[in-house]
Structure 1
């Protein structure tokens, strides 16, 4: 029996300056690994990482943080990416954790990059799963992002199914159970309102315009400031964050390495689960 199955994996909550944050905590007193989920309809940290939790909890204390605005932790308002970035350090402080390894999926990888840059003393190692960088050869927004925008604008079950199929290489992973599970949370009014602040077409266009007009460098232009050992993982067949997005972070993060999983879409931790576990556990145990 694994550490994760022995432990209490019921959701917990803790008050912070950014509101009530909910999370999972399993694996005992080992080195802590913080798992940060992605964005999209009906996403939660638990759904992103529950499959790999047993393998990691045998060696590490595993914390799965539910970001504000995605239907589990309290919605702090504002842009979901910004509130996610603002939640990490208060969460660690509330738990009395000084330093962690971070495993971030898609948007969670971007939050991990931000945390490693702004608080380098709080991050020991960083693993990202797609979603960071910039389109070099592929058009943007990608197919998956366009489908996500269409669902956010007009949420129908078929639009959800179309988006979920863009997330994976193997369509057999898009089961009726997955569709129903995602549909229930994705159409919750508060969760949908939060999604529209990020992926509504007008909001998305405004965000792109602001980023390009701002005096601050674009996120991909700051990646050379990541000083911690970094593992970039990617599905070769990712239609949400195409593989060419990996080129800039792979080249600009000083201590980065890239692992690409074949026959795999955006959810490498789900679709390439055994290889993902072996690759990431090896990386985390090496340093």
Structure 2
């Protein structure tokens, strides 16, 4: 059941699934892209995870579920996480983040180390070392955002997975319906339109501020990095930098798997993550 939390920056919506509010809290942060939601990212994993944790699936502002924001969605996300934790009275949590959600989770662990007990990321976090940036999946995402058609949406969805049968007609229609809502499409263009991406690159080149990936050595939380070997959105060489700089880190790469590790290698991913989190609790 979708719940609501009123904050000074609008209503945040979330799912609260687990044995009880006394179970260890596990915050799940979703990725970006057309039609994405936290529920669609993690729905299939909740039956396994919620046996051991109170699973809190936060819907970031700007993706069509929580209230919109005037900020760039990536800039609004970290503050929304703090507002969410404060609003629920949670001092310390385990965090799972997929792609963009993994970057936000890493920023939380860097800037608020006392609030993250353990950190799990799914692809997308780090820096391209051998592969070009942007990758194939990001280029397809920009093409869809600039000129949204069903054909471009299908091309992007197919770049997300190794097993092409995962991209069903139902998935396409569900994603299309939400991705083409005017407000959601506007937010997508702020993130992935070609003009926005060019402006972001120029701003980064002119900025004296260190990028988040240069601060990964500050993460104190136990960290598990999970990745699909065949990821065409964020190639697996991106994991090399966080693997070498985060002090207490493990890396698990899943074969025959694209960007959505928690979906495409569901059982293996769940077993790996639960073993990691429970080992930390012990």
TM above 0.5: yes
Q: Give unpaired runs (5+ residues) of structure 2.
A: none
* 1:169 to partner: Cα distance: 0.2
> Map of 1:171-182 to 2, 5 A cutoff?
171-182=164-175
Partner secondary structure for residue 155 of structure 1: coil
Alignment partners' CA distance in 2, 1:233 and 1:201: 29
- 5 Å matches for 1:41-190? 41-190=34-183
Query: How many residues matched?
Result: 278
Q: Distance between the aligned counterparts of 1:12 and 1:186, measured in 2? A: 22
Aligned partner of 1:270 among 245, 263, 273: 263
4, 17, 21: which one aligns with 1:26:
17
Task: Report the Cα distance in structure 1 between the residues aligned to 2:46 and 2:171, rounded to whole angstroms.
Answer: 18
2:44 partner SS: coil
Q: Is the 8 A contact 1:77 1:194 kept in 2?
A: no
- For the aligned residue pairs, the C-alpha RMSD in angstroms reads 0.6
Q: Is the 8 A contact 1:18 1:86 kept in 2?
A: no
Map 1:209-220 → 2, pairs under 5 A? 209-220=202-213
| Partner Cα distance (2:77, 2:246) in 1 | 22
Separation of aligned partners in 1, 2:7 and 2:244: 36
C-alpha separation in 1, matches of 2:252 and 2:221: 17
Deviates more, 1:44-53 or 1:219-228: 219-228
Length-normalised TM-score, structure 1: 0.96
> Is 1:17–2:8 an aligned residue pair?
yes
How far apart in 1 are the matches of 2:46 and 2:196?
A: 34
Number of the residue aligned with 2:250: 257
After TM superposition, give the deviation of residue 78 of structure 1 in Å.
1.6
**Within 2, Cα distance between the matches of 1:175 and 1:167?**
13
1:230 and 2:240 correspond:
no
Could you list the runs of 4 or more consecutive aligned residues of structure 1 that deviate by over 3 angstroms after TM superposition?
none
Q: What secondary structure does 1:216 align onto? A: coil
